[in-house]
Amino acid sequence: MTITLITECIIFFKSAEDPDGLYGEDAVAAVLDEATRMKELSWIAVFTTLSATEGKCKIIGNVKGIVNWAYRLAREAETGNKINWKYSKITADDAVRAGVLKQSVIDEARRTLPNGMFLELYYGIPFVNSSAKFAYAFDKSKHVGKCEVNYNYPIYLSFDFNKNPICCSVIQYYNETIFIPHVIKLDNSDIYKLCQFIKNKFTIPGHGYNSDMFIVNGDASGNNKSAMVKDNLNYFRIIKAELELSFKSDAAAGQQSKYRRKSGIG
């Protein structure tokens, strides 16, 4: 199906079911609707076709989990990592304000649909069952902000092993709120350098370094033989030694290994 405009510009309506059918035309622009349900090969066909004319493309679609090319591109555009791309989000509330939908329609959908599906289709929040995302109610505007380490409360050091970059998240919990002031990542490094980085970071001028403020945990591999390093020590034993922790092991069967302060906090 085509529409020819008075300017002699032709608009083609095509299915994306067969990616090969999207090649060949000298297109100057494209609109992809229901992109999250579209094959990635179809997007590649459109993108490469537009490359010849430096044409523009508008990608539209409901959120459908997070394991698809459209969701990935949207996140990159949202963070500003893609030059000359723009991200916009329209929710059911926007449609009500614009007079496109009635609030009663939204309320009925909320009562009728499973909560996860409702949030995904009407508010663009990925449904946990369709995306495997554990925090589908995450809202960047509500849950992301600036915070600093509060030395009046314990500091959790949560390590992620067997990964490059090796990582350690600095976490605190108080006032019924979780704070993550730092996520330390060291490329092409090791547990010894990471521990030294942590000691340097938490050495306070005039007060020195105090290991009693730390509660350490991490993924289960830190206590496995697969996480053995030099001196035949696993990661948790190295952390205990390098950070000068006066902790005792509190490993329970089937649970992640960790150390706790002797004061019993945590």
Higher-confidence residue: 60 or 162?
Answer: 60
Instruction: Supply the pLDDT for residue 235.
Output: 83
- Domains, the chain, with CATH or none: 2-61 (no CATH), 92-143 (no CATH), 155-260 (3.30.420)
Cα–Cα dist 155/169, whole Å? 10
Q: pTM of the full predicted structure?
A: 0.48
Check residue 251 and give its pLDDT: 36
Question: Contact 25/49 with Cβ under 8 angstroms?
Answer: yes
In tens, the pLDDT along 140-158 reads 777 888 899 999 999 999 9
Task: Check whether 63 has a pLDDT greater than 50.
Answer: yes
Question: What is residue 209's predicted lDDT score, i.e. its pLDDT?
Answer: 86
Task: Tell me what the pLDDT averaged over the chain comes to.
Answer: 82
The average pLDDT across 66-86 equals 90
Query: Which of 119-123, 239-243, 255-259 comes out lowest in average pLDDT?
Result: 255-259
| 258 pLDDT more than 50 | no
Mean pLDDT of all residues in 189-218: 88
Cα 170 to Cα 161: distance, rounded to the nearest angstrom: 15
Extended beta strands in the chain, E state: 2-4, 10-12, 29-32, 56-59, 155-160, 166-174, 177-186, 203-204, 208-209, 214-218, 248-249, 258-260
pLDDT tens column, 27-46: 889 999 999 999 999 999 99
Are 233 and 191 in contact by the 8 Å Cβ rule? The answer is no
Q: Which residue has the higher pLDDT, 221 or 209?
A: 209
Q: What is the mean pLDDT of residues 107-130?
A: 86
Q: What is the mean pLDDT of residues 105-109?
A: 95
